[in-house]
Structures are given as C-alpha cells and as structure tokens.
Amino acid sequence: LEQAAAADGRVLADPKPQAALTDLTGGVQTYTVWAWCARTDYLDVTYELRAHAKEVLEQEGISLARARFDVALHD
C-alpha cells in the first residue's frame, strides 16, 4: 500500500507514505494509508489512491471483504 501511494507523482516523498493495520473489529481488518500531497490535489489523490490500492491488493491475490446483509422475510 505504501508503494501504491508512493507511485502517485502527486504524493510527497517527504514525509514518505505509511500504511498500518489500524483496526480488527468483527473479523474485519482495516488498514490506513497516510500520504501527503498538495491541498489542491487532496480529493483526486484520495479517490484515486483508494482505487489503485484495491487494484494492487487484487493483483497480489488479496480479496476485499464485501458487506454482508442478513435478510429475514416474515409472512
């Protein structure tokens, strides 16, 4: 994830991007990526980094969990 962030030319090299496991709740692992960029690039970098991170994880054979809903039908 850090490499995916660093590959975006809008992400600053200093401080370098960081990623960490930040939560383990309900069997779900949450990773957070910190990447710094110019304020004017923030929204584009945020959305594009999420999409790129998903692609990188899938290329590495890591599937992302999908939301699960239990539906009960009553007569």
Extract the tokens encoding 9: 């030319």
Asked if the structure places residue 43 within a domain, the reply is: yes
Asked if the structure places residue 65 within a domain, the reply is: no
Residues 64-73: tens digit of each pLDDT? 777 777 888 8
- pLDDT of residue 22 exceeding 80, the answer is yes
Asked if the structure places residue 71 within a domain, the reply is: no
Cβ–Cβ < 8 Å for 11, 17? yes
pLDDT of residue 38: 97
Asked if the structure places residue 49 within a domain, the reply is: yes
Q: By residue range, what is the domain housing residue 47? A: 2-59
- pLDDT bracket for residue 27 (50, 70, 90): confident
Asked if the structure places residue 74 within a domain, the reply is: no
Domains: count for the chain: 1
The Cα 27–Cα 48 span in angstroms is 27
Phi, psi angles (nearest 5°) of residue 27: 75, 10
The whole-model pTM stands at 0.73
Asked if the structure places residue 73 within a domain, the reply is: no
